[in-house]
Amino acid sequence: MEFGETLLTIALILCIYAAIAHILGIWKKKNELFDSARAAILLIGVLLTIASLWLFNLFITRNFQYEYVAMYSSLDLPKVYTIAAFWAGSDGSLLLWAWLISIYIAIIAIRGKSYDNLIKHAMLVILPTLGYLIYMLLTVSRPFRMLDFMPVDGNGLNPMLQDPGMLFHPPTLFWGYAGVLIPFALMIAGIYLSDETWIYRARRWALWAWLGLALGNMFGSYWAYTVLNWGGFWGWDPVENASFLPFLTMTAFYHSTMIQERKSGMKIWNIFLILFTWELVVYGTLLTRSGIIASVHTFGQSVTAPYYINYMIVVFAATILLVAWKYDSIKSKKILESFVSREGSFLYNNWIFIVAAASVLWGTTYPLLSEAFRGYKVMVGPSFYNQINVPLGIALLFLMAICPLIGWRKASLSNLKRNFSRPLLLAAVAMVVAFALGVHDFYALVAIVAGSVLVISTHLIAISRMVTKQKKTEDKGFPKNLSLAFWNNRRTFGGYLCHIAILMIIVSATGAVVYEKTETFNMRVGGTYSVGDYEFKLTKIDQYDKNNKQVSAALFDVYKNGKLVLTDSSALMYHYLKQDNTNVKPMAYRVGIDDLYFSAQAITSNSATVKLKVMPLMFLMWIGGFHVLISGILISLSTKVAVRKNRYNIGMEDINEL
């Protein structure tokens, strides 16, 4: 048997063994069985790591006798992309997913102290799932399948995937996909055992998965902007939607778990949120790996679709049955005394995310349903998603402004006046000033001006109150008070940073859409062309070879108010020799607050047809999404939330390990 498949087969046997050992261990109450199962789990992690390294090795050594390697690499493919080719196809992606799950459970198994009853039961969800993925890797989605001949060369990697984004977008997304399994499994175990502490155990894993999903979506967006020549950061492509959906429901889940922790409410809601998140992860994989929806980057037809669909049906049915069986033990306490309260703001937040997710799911799935049940194919254009999600984004902005200051239980009129009169006044003044300065667009006034002022001011007020509280406890001077307030409230600060990141993304998207200026010119060398406040002078055409492609470059000097602000900026086209096709490589350069976006449509020896865009505020999207959002999640991740002892009758030491 082939080496990689041998490793996978042993891993599958160990999965089955570990699952049986868990069942017997729980049944017979024998701890030694768990010790042996944990050893098996560790070994699964080691085996899948070796199998993955083996696949990397096959790509790096360009062993084309392996069908998967031959399909996704070639002799002229730069080495760095032979690594990324690992997850260029469905088989490798599945291996990556299984590998990451195996690492996560190995980490859980190695930390014996936290290997309690809840996690033992959760393993009975994780291990069969992992075993199922490994079974698929051995039967219908085989990365180690060997050909009965040695091809002269491979087919090469799709040129659109030959970009540094390919190194980061799929792995981060699968890091999130794999991570979602853990809170889902803890939820199932929690319901079965009537152990509500699952929500605490799931928190940091949910954050970890959320971090991966956030990174995956941001890398995807950046890729769309700088590689796919969509001329924007998001195209509502079905596969983009597939990765966005679990991010939306996971965001809702993370917020509503805070209500369960604090108020013992929204329990059923949380169960369904994490169930849907996991189902959407599998659904996303189905969409991207089975090719059932026409998209720019689905992986063609495959036979794996029934496997994903069957799994989804089983998981959904089993969870519903379990919830029905244990319904009495998972009833929530009533949490909502008033719609004008902190609890209410969490509820609205969840509704916004759920409506957004439902609209995206509907738009993405409808073409499938139409074809299956009505017999004709349709496509859903981006206008549907924008018309639903733009107002929701604005509503979210105002909710973010309200949530740090609104009172718990029931916000009184005096509470509202005390907390919001100054931010509202400030926002009103800012809108008047902005209008007088020429900002007349509704969305710009509402989202960029009012939204920013409200969100920033309410968050600053909330932070200042934390510092004041710290000062009252022990005044150590402002810098120390601030740092202590930060340290003692890391989870809240992390959340606030995430809010600021979302604000930056919404402001950036609004600025780029409302104030974007676009022109397409057929240019001659030496000619100057104006877009907005900028003048673009085509200085020369350059043509040269680079790695496995021929590059055509139109080079520009850019002037603003007669002053040179950018030199040798370029619009590029790549011609890939192996695949004999030409791709546009869009280029974006930041000048002040503007992105100057170059997208070549044609380049000849002395002329170029280039689409030029000026997109204000785009830089905020990348700073917000990559730096602020990620920092916020990491800061939140650094905190442990102790179980409220009076609510659940268990020891804290059991909990704080995860």
Partner 1 sequence: MNKKTKNILGIGIVGILILYLGAVSFSNALSFYYEVGEFVTIADTFNGKIVNVNGTIASGSTIWEPEKARLTFNLSDNNGTITVVSNDGMPGSYKEGIPAVVTGYFVNNTFQATMVVTKCPSKYGGDLDHGEHNET
- How far apart are CB 367 and partner 1 at their closest, in Å? 7
By the 10 Å C-beta count (0-12 exposed, 13-18 middle, 19+ buried), 381 is classed as exposed
Give the span between the Cα atoms of 296 and 54, in whole angstroms. 30
> Dihedral sign, CA of 477, 470, 643, 410?
negative
Q: Are 643 and 210 in contact (CB under 8 A)?
A: no
CB of 416 to partner 1, least distance (A): 16
Distance from C-alpha of 184 to C-alpha of 175, rounded to nearest angstrom: 15
Contacts of 272 (CB under 8 A, 6+ apart): none
Alpha-carbon dihedral sign for residues 61, 63, 68, 70: positive
Q: In angstroms, what is the minimal distance from the CB of 235 to partner 1?
A: 10
Could you tell me which residues come within 8 angstroms of residue 429 by beta carbon, excluding any fewer than 6 positions away? none
Q: How far is Cα 280 from Cα 507, in angstroms, rounded to an integer?
A: 28
Beta carbon nearer to partner 1, 301 or 473 = 301
| Strand 517-524 relative to strand 587-591, pairing | unpaired
Q: What's the min distance (Å) between Cβ of 505 and partner 1?
A: 22
319 or 583: CB nearest partner 1: 583
> Are the beta carbons of 550 and 575 closer than 8 angstroms?
yes
Smallest separation (angstroms) from partner 1 to the CB of 145: 13
Q: CB 577 → partner 1: shortest distance, Å?
A: 12
Q: Which is nearer to partner 1, 27 or 149 (CB)?
A: 149
Min dist CB 646 to partner 1, Å, is: 30
Identity of the residue, 283 or 574, whose beta carbon is nearer to partner 1 in the bound complex? 574
Q: Which tokens sit at 108?
A: 């859980």
Q: Which is nearer to partner 1, 65 or 117 (CB)?
A: 65
Would you state the structure tokens that stand for residue 523, as one six-digit string? Answer: 């240019």
Query: Residue 179: exposed, middle, or buried by beta-carbon count in 10 A (0-12, 13-18, 19+)?
Result: buried
| Beta bridge partners of residue 246, listed in sequence order | none
Name the residue nearer to partner 1 (CB basis): 374 or 563: 374
Cα 450 from Cα 326, distance rounded (Å): 47
CB of 321 to partner 1, least distance (A): 30
User: CB atoms < 10 A from the CB of 476, how many?
Assistant: 13
Q: Which is nearer to partner 1, 9 or 415 (CB)?
A: 415
Q: Which is nearer to partner 1, 217 or 290 (CB)?
A: 290
CB of 169 to partner 1, least distance (A): 15
Are 88 and 68 in contact by the 8 Å Cβ rule? The answer is no
Query: Around Cβ 100, how many Cβ atoms within 10 Å?
Result: 21
Tell me whether residue 383 or residue 414 sits nearer to partner 1 (CB atom).
383
